[in-house]
């Protein structure tokens, strides 16, 4: 790490930050000393370096809806370039409220229960940093998305990682025993990245019973893939009256509208919680990109979210069929745009080495699942993203069937 301190930096060709700290008796300044570049950046970069087909990082490689582009072009020359109100563009807040009512029959107050965020990532970070203080514990279910733990650590909290069952359903005995008087938050992700699992009615009932016993515990429900579920309907925390008072829900237009680079998401939370979240949000972001908010607001009038799930179901089936003759074992994908596979029939290597080899020797990039566990549990599994053109999926499958 580079550090410019008086003129010392210039005296040394390689400046060792840790030695400097030790020598000068400064306690380490890093809040995330063990954190490295995210696996998504690492794998995408490797894929690019080796010209491999990138099924690792979760982003679509197909063009966005032409209607979205047309709206963008038209609105760009209008007066939409200054700050929006802090919580979001009023018309967008209104459309999200309508969407929430239509899909989940929940009526939200746009003034007090809704906040536009810079993607779900910022919403999640802000929510965690609003409610977790020094020494508080937050329960995270493994395998888990990579941004939860660092957000808890930055807040000074303690991430308590609890593994899901082997079939990726939540294990309520384990979760119950992980709850202490310091537990302030449980973070759930449904539909689930990386496994594609979705929560059942029974799972929600068990969670409700558990949270009733622990009124100090809040719930953060990451539902960025809410519109991508297949055979089983996604159950949103928005539809659970017993949870609503204690729940913050995170959503992402990046996922729902195939514009991950626009970084627009939102949080829904009851007024008492949202009031606190907004206090932090206003000094972290103030207001989110105005152009994207205006365009999305207008686009929401014409977009049909049922089409999103249908499109991804078709892609999932295409990819699964194309892998039928491969030696990979495909696990069920109930939602999201991820397919997890095990490669036990091919290799005994650990998943990181195998994923690297898949890039360098076979030309396809995937994410090793061990990175989603606190203890790097290696079940010899990979995650492929099927949010890609049919040609990309078929070309990747063609390479994957040859891996023996």
Residues in contact with ligand PMP by CB under 6 A are 58, 119-121, 145, 189, 193, 222, 224, 252, 254, 260, 265
Binds ligand GLN by CB under 6 A, chosen from 110, 126, 193, 326: 193
Q: Which does 222 bind (CB under 5 to 8 A by kind): ligand PMP, ligand GLN, none?
A: ligand PMP
Compare residues 116 and 346 and give the one whose CB is closer to ligand PMP: 116
Interface residues for ligand GLN in 109-138 (CB under 6 A)?
A: none
Please give the Cα distance from 188 to 294 (Å, whole number): 30
Please give the Cα distance from 373 to 365 (Å, whole number): 20
Q: Which does 254 bind (CB under 5 to 8 A by kind): ligand GLN, ligand PMP, none?
A: ligand PMP
Task: Show the tokens assigned to 393.
Answer: 């999926």
Distance of closest approach, residue 252 Cβ to ligand PMP, in angstroms: 3
Chain position whose Cβ is nearest to ligand GLN: 58
Length of the chain, please?
Answer: 404
Residues 352 and 334: beta-carbon distance below 8 Å = no
Q: How many residues bind ligand GLN (CB under 6 A)?
A: 5
Q: Which does 38 bind (CB under 5 to 8 A by kind): ligand PMP, ligand GLN, none?
A: ligand GLN
Q: Cβ contacts of residue 257 below 8 Å, gap of 6+?
A: 64, 65, 68, 296, 299, 303
Q: Which does 119 bind (CB under 5 to 8 A by kind): ligand PMP, ligand GLN, none?
A: ligand PMP
Asked whether position 377 contacts ligand GLN by CB under 6 A, the answer is no
Please give the Cα distance from 59 to 52 (Å, whole number): 15
Q: Which does 265 bind (CB under 5 to 8 A by kind): ligand GLN, ligand PMP, none?
A: ligand PMP
Please give the Cα distance from 197 to 190 (Å, whole number): 7
Q: Which does 189 bind (CB under 5 to 8 A by kind): ligand PMP, ligand GLN, none?
A: ligand PMP
Residues 251 and 268: beta-carbon distance below 8 Å = yes
Whether omega for the bond prior to residue 191 falls within 30 degrees of 0, making it cis, is yes
Distance of closest approach, residue 50 Cβ to ligand PMP, in angstroms: 23
Asked whether position 170 contacts ligand GLN by CB under 6 A, the answer is no
Q: Which does 120 bind (CB under 5 to 8 A by kind): ligand PMP, ligand GLN, none?
A: ligand PMP
Distance of closest approach, residue 264 Cβ to ligand GLN, in angstroms: 14
Q: Which helix (H) or strand (E) holds 48?
A: helix 39-49
Distance of closest approach, residue 129 Cβ to ligand GLN, in angstroms: 18
Residues 161 and 143: beta-carbon distance below 8 Å = no
List for the chain the helix, strand, coil content (%; round to 5): 40, 15, 45
80 — alpha (psi -120 to 50), left (phi > 0) or beta? alpha
Residues 83 and 392: beta-carbon distance below 8 Å = no
Compare residues 104 and 225 and give the one whose CB is closer to ligand GLN: 225
Interface residues for ligand GLN in 50-69 (CB under 6 A)?
A: 57-58
- Which residues would be at the binding site for ligand GLN (CB under 6 A)? 38, 40, 57-58, 193
């Amino acid at each position: 790490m580079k550090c410019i301190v008086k003129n010392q930096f210039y005296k040394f060709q390689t400046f060792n930050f840790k030695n400097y700290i030790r020598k000068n008796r400064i306690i380490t300044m890093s809040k995330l000393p063990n954190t490295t570049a995210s696996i998504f950046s690492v794998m995408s970069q490797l894929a690019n370096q080796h010209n491999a087909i990138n099924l690792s990082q979760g982003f679509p490689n197909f063009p966005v809806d032409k209607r979205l582009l047309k709206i963008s072009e038209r609105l760009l020359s209008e007066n939409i370039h200054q700050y929006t109100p802090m919580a979001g563009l009023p018309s967008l807040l209104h459309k999200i409220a309508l969407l929430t009512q239509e899909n989940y029959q929940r009526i939200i107050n746009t003034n007090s229960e809704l906040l536009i965020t810079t993607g779900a990532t910022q919403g999640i970070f802000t929510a965690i940093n609003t409610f977790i203080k020094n020494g508080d514990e937050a329960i995270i279910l493994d395998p888990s998305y990579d941004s939860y733990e660092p957000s808890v650590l930055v807040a000074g909290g303690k991430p308590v990682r609890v593994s899901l069952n082997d079939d990726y359903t939540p294990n309520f005995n384990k979760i119950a025993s992980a709850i202490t008087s310091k537990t302030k938050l449980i973070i759930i992700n449904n539909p689930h990245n990386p496994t594609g699992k979705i929560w059942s009615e029974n799972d929600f009932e068990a969670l409700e019973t558990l949270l009733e016993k622990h009124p100090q515990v809040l719930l953060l429900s990451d539902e960025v893939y809410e519109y991508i579920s297949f055979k089983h309907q996604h159950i949103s925390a928005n539809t659970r009256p017993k949870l609503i008072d204690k729940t913050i829900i995170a959503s992402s237009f990046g996922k729902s509208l195939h514009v991950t680079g626009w970084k627009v998401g939102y949080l829904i939370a009851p007024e008492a919680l949202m009031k606190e979240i907004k206090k932090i949000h206003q000094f972290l972001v103030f207001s989110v990109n105005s152009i994207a908010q205006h365009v999305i607001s207008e686009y929401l009038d014409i977009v049909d979210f049922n089409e999103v799930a249908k499109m991804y179901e078709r892609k999932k089936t295409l990819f699964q069929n194309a892998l039928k003759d491969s030696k990979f074992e495909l696990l069920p994908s109930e939602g999201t745009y991820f397919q997890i596979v095990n490669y036990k029939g091919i290799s005994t290597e650990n998943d990181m080495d195998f994923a690297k080899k898949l890039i360098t020797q076979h030309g396809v990039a995937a994410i090793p699942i061990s990175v989603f566990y606190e203890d790097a549990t290696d079940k010899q599994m990979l995650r492929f993203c099927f949010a890609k053109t049919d040609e990309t999926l078929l070309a990747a499958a063609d390479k994957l069937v040859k891996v023996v």
